[in-house]
Amino acid sequence: MIENLFFQNAHLCWPVIFIGVVLWFLFVWKEWRKPLSKLFVTSCLISLLTIIAIAMLALKPKVGSLSNSVGVVLTDFYQEEQLDSLMKVEKDLKLYQYQENLSIQSKLDSLRTIYVLGDGIAPYDFWQFENRSVSYLSNEIPKGVTNINYKQINYVGEFMIVRGNYNVPQEKNSIVLEDASGKAQDSVVFEKNGSSNFVLKLPLKSKGKFVYQLVEKDSVGTILSKNNIPIHVVEKQNLQILILNDFPSFETKYLKNYLSSLGHKLVVRSQITKGRYKFEYLNTERTPIYTLNRANMQNFDLLIISSNAYRYLSKQTKKDIKNAVYLDGLGVFLQPDASLFRLSEESTNLKFQPTLNSEIVLNGFSNQTWDTYRYSFVDGPRIEKIHFNSNQIASAYKRWGNGRIGTTLIQNTFQLQLAGKQELYRDFWSEIISKISKEKTIAAKFNFSSMFPLKDEPLRFELNSSYEHPNVLQANGNLIPLKQDIDIPSKWEGVIYPLSEGWHELRLKNDSISTATMYVTDSISWTALRRHEKRLANIRLFNNKTIVADEKVQYKSINPFWFFAIALLGMGFLWLRPKLMQS
Partner 1 sequence: MKRQGLEHIRWFQKQWQSIIVAEVLLYALSLSFLSYVLSLSIVVTILIFCGVCIGLFLLKKPWQFSLQKTAQYIDGQLDHIENSTELFLKPEIELTNIARLQKIKVSRLLQTELAQLLPQRKMWNSILVLLVCLLVGGVLLQFQVFQKSDSTSDFPSDNEVIVFQALDSVSSKENPPQIHNQILHITYPAYTNLEPRTSLDMNLKALEGSQVAWKLKFDQDIDHVMWVDENSEKAMRLAKESYLFQTKLKNSHFYNFKFKALNGLSYLSDLYAIEVIKDELPAVEIINIKQFTTFEIGDSKVLNFNVVMSDDFGIADAFIVATVTKGEGESVKFREERLAIDQGFEKGSRKLNLSKSLDLDALKMEAGDELYFYVESVDVKTPKANRARSETFFAVIRDTATNNFSVEGTMAADLMPDYFRSQRQLIIDTEKLIADKNRLSKEDFNATSNALGYDQKALRLKYGEFMGDEADSGIQVTQDIDLETPADDHDLLEEYTHDHDGSNEHNLVENHEHDHDHDDDTGTENKVDPLESYLHNHDDPEESTLFTESLRGKLKQAMAEMWDAELHLRLYAPEKSLPYQYRALKLIQEIKNSARIYVHRIGFDPPPIKEDKRLTGDFTEVTTIQNSDEVKEPDDFEYMRKSVARISEIIHRQASISQDDRDSFAAAGNELAVLAIESPVKYLHVLQELKLLSEKHQTSMETLKYVQFELLNALPKTPENPIKRETYQNKLSDLILKEITSND
Name the minimum Å distance from CB 258 to partner 1: 9
Of the two residues 167 and 238, which places its CB atom closer to partner 1 in the complex?
Answer: 238
Q: What distance in Å separates the CA atoms of residue 47 and residue 571, rounded to the nearest whole number?
A: 7
The contacts of residue 152 (CB under 8 Å, 6+ apart) are 230, 231, 232, 451, 518, 519
Among 533, 536, 541, residue whose Cα is nearest residue 132: 541
Q: How far is the CB of 281 from partner 1 (least distance, A)?
A: 4
Pick between residue 80 and residue 487 the one whose CB is nearest to partner 1.
487
CB of 531 to partner 1, least distance (A): 29
CA–CA separation, 551 and 174 (whole Å): 53
Quick one: DSSP state of residue 502? E
Q: How far is CA 385 from the centre of its chain?
A: 27
Mapping DSSP to helix (H, G, I), strand (E, B) and coil, where does residue 356 land? coil
Q: CA-to-CA distance for 408 and 425, rounded, in angstroms? A: 14
Closer residue to partner 1 in complex, CB, 372/437 = 437
Q: Which residues pair with 199 in a beta bridge?
A: 163
In whole angstroms, the minimum distance from the beta carbon of 222 to partner 1 comes to 23
**Shortest approach of partner 1 to residue 302 CB, angstroms?**
9
Going 96 to 101 to 106 to 110, the CA torsion angle's sign is positive
Q: Residue 461, CB half-sphere, CA atoms under 13 Å: how many?
A: 30
Nearer to partner 1, 76 or 179 (CB): 179
Q: Would you say 338 or 488 has its CB closer to partner 1?
A: 488
Instruction: Compute CA distances 572 → 38, 263, 382, 579, whole Å.
Output: 18, 102, 92, 11
Residues 6+ apart with CB under 8 A from 309: 244, 245, 246, 271
Q: Minimum distance between the CB of residue 253 and partner 1, rounded to whole angstroms?
A: 13
Cβ of residue 193: shortest distance to partner 1, in angstroms? 34
Could you give phi then psi for residue 20, rounded to 5 degrees? -60, -45
Query: Quick one: which of 412, 305, 393, 306 has its CA closest to 350?
Result: 393
Decide whether 75 or 514 has the Cβ nearer to partner 1.
514
Nearer to partner 1, 157 or 458 (CB): 157
